[in-house]
């Protein structure tokens, strides 16, 4: 289940919601079952077809400062585009349903569950992934704090925890361990490294704000 905060963030990224895009797909499905223009539908993807029948949408965005322009299936999630098309595998696919936070990245500085974000929603926006958090060889204070506090075991959830932790501090939601636990509740850790994670975020908050 997505949290209200995740839903707000994901729906606010652009005027185009996941529901809007799926409605578009449904309209094509209606055409198919009614037999209207079935020949055109059979050629979906053909660039010579009218725009309304194409399945790819041009999307241009920046990832970790680098501009990318891709023709994307409108059903592609941001997570799949990052991992499969851009080779940025730091964001992890845990549940693929907005329930675990392993896929957390920043869109224009706000944390989102990238598995629940359609890539077409990020047109002309700035994406930051765990790969873009450090400054060269200098780790971000949150990355260093996770190391210092041994805030991981298997590490699968860690990129998402770190990206969410950075956002948590920037949102000024890291004022106490209780507040950190509340605002990090969308990021699950199957290894139960929560004490270290909370301590790391509290520590990093001091470094980031200092
Ligand atoms: S993989 Fe996105 S929330 Fe679990
Ligand atoms: S460190 Fe293993 S899931 Fe969090």
Which ligand sits nearest to residue 159's alpha carbon?
A: 2
- The residue count of the chain comes to 210
- Tokens matching residue 89: 């595998």
Which of 133, 141, 185 has its CA nearest to residue 159?
133
- Report the phi/psi class of residue 73: left, alpha or beta, with left for phi > 0 and alpha for psi in -120 to 50: beta
CA distances from residue 124 to 24, 59, 65, 99, 135 in whole angstroms, order as listed: 21, 8, 12, 27, 23
Which ligand sits nearest to residue 150's alpha carbon?
A: 2
Q: How far is the CA of 194 from the centre of ligand 2 (A)?
A: 9
Q: Which of 82, 95, 118, 188 to mutate to test the pocket of ligand 1 (most atoms within 8 A of CB)?
A: 95
Residue in this structure with the two tokens 């361990």, named with its chain if needed: 177
Atom of ligand 1 at shortest distance to CA of 98? Answer: 3
pLDDT for 23-60, tens place per residue? 444 444 433 333 334 444 444 445 565 655 668 999 99
Q: Which residue has the higher pLDDT, 51 or 106?
A: 106
Residue in this structure with the two tokens 């009218």, named with its chain if needed: 50
User: Is the confidence at residue 165, as pLDDT, over 80?
Assistant: yes
What pLDDT does residue 55 have?
A: 82
Q: Which residue has the higher pLDDT, 22 or 75?
A: 75
Stretch 81-104: mean pLDDT: 98
> How many angstroms separate the CA atoms of 196 and 210, rounded?
21
> How many angstroms separate the CA atoms of 164 and 167, rounded?
5
In percent, how much of the chain has pLDDT > 70? Answer: 74
Element (H, E) at 184: none
Q: Which of 102, 151, 156, 184 to mutate to test the pocket of ligand 2 (most atoms within 8 A of CB)?
A: 156
What pLDDT does residue 10 have?
A: 47
Atom of ligand 1 at shortest distance to CA of 93? Answer: 1
Which of 43, 42, 30, 76 has its CA nearest to residue 57?
76
Stretch 184-207: mean pLDDT: 98
Which ligand sits nearest to residue 189's alpha carbon?
A: 2
**pTM above the 0.85 mark?**
no
Atom of ligand 1 at shortest distance to CA of 104? Answer: 2
- If DSSP codes are grouped into helix, strand and coil, which group holds residue 94? coil
Residue ranges around ligand 2 (CB below 6 Å): 152-158, 189-191, 193
User: Is the confidence at residue 5, as pLDDT, over 80?
Assistant: no
Q: Which residue has the higher pLDDT, 48 or 128?
A: 128
What pLDDT does residue 12 have?
A: 46
Least confident stretch, 51-65, 99-113, 159-173: 51-65
What pLDDT does residue 209 have?
A: 86
Stretch 124-138: mean pLDDT: 96
In percent, how much of the chain has pLDDT > 90? Answer: 72
Stretch 175-181: mean pLDDT: 98
User: Is the confidence at residue 153, as pLDDT, over 90?
Assistant: yes
Predicted confidence band at 210 (pLDDT cuts at 50, 70, 90)?
Answer: confident
* Burial class of residue 34 in the structure, from the number of CB atoms within 10 Å of its CB (0-12 exposed, 13-18 middle, 19+ buried): exposed
- Tokens matching residue 24: 């578009």
First to last CA, the chain: 35
Q: How far is the CA of 71 from the centre of ligand 2 (A)?
A: 34
Which of 168, 101, 106 has its CA nearest to residue 131?
106
Domains of the chain from N-terminus onward: 1-55 (no CATH), 58-132 (3.10.20.30), 141-209 (1.10.150.120)
Atom of ligand 1 at shortest distance to CA of 95? Answer: 4
Name the residue with the closest Cα to ligand 1, atom 3. 98
What pLDDT does residue 7 have?
A: 46
Q: What is the pLDDT of the chain when averaged over all its residues?
A: 84
């Amino acid at each position: 289940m997505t949290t209200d905060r995740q839903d707000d963030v994901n729906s606010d990224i652009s005027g185009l919601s996941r529901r809007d895009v799926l409605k578009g797909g449904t309209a094509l499905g209606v055409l198919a079952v009614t037999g209207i223009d079935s020949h055109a539908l059979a050629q979906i993807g053909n660039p010579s077809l009218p725009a309304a029948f194409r399945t790819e949408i041009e999307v241009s965005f920046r990832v970790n400062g680098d501009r990318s322009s891709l023709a994307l299936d409108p059903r592609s999630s941001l997570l799949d585009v990052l991992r499969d098309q851009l080779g940025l595998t730091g964001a992890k696919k845990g549940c693929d349903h907005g329930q675990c936070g392993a896929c957390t990245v920043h869109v224009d500085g706000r944390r989102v569950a990238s598995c629940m974000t359609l890539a077409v929603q990020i047109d002309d926006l700035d994406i930051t992934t765990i790969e873009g958090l450090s400054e060269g060889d200098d780790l971000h204070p949150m990355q260093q704090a996770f190391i210092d506090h041994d805030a991981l075991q298997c590490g699968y959830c860690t990129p998402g925890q770190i990206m969410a932790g950075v956002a948590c501090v920037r949102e000024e939601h890291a004022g106490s361990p209780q507040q950190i636990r509340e605002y990090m509740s969308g990021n699950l850790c199957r290894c139960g490294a929560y004490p270290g994670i909370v301590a790391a975020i509290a520590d990093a908050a001091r470094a980031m704000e200092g």
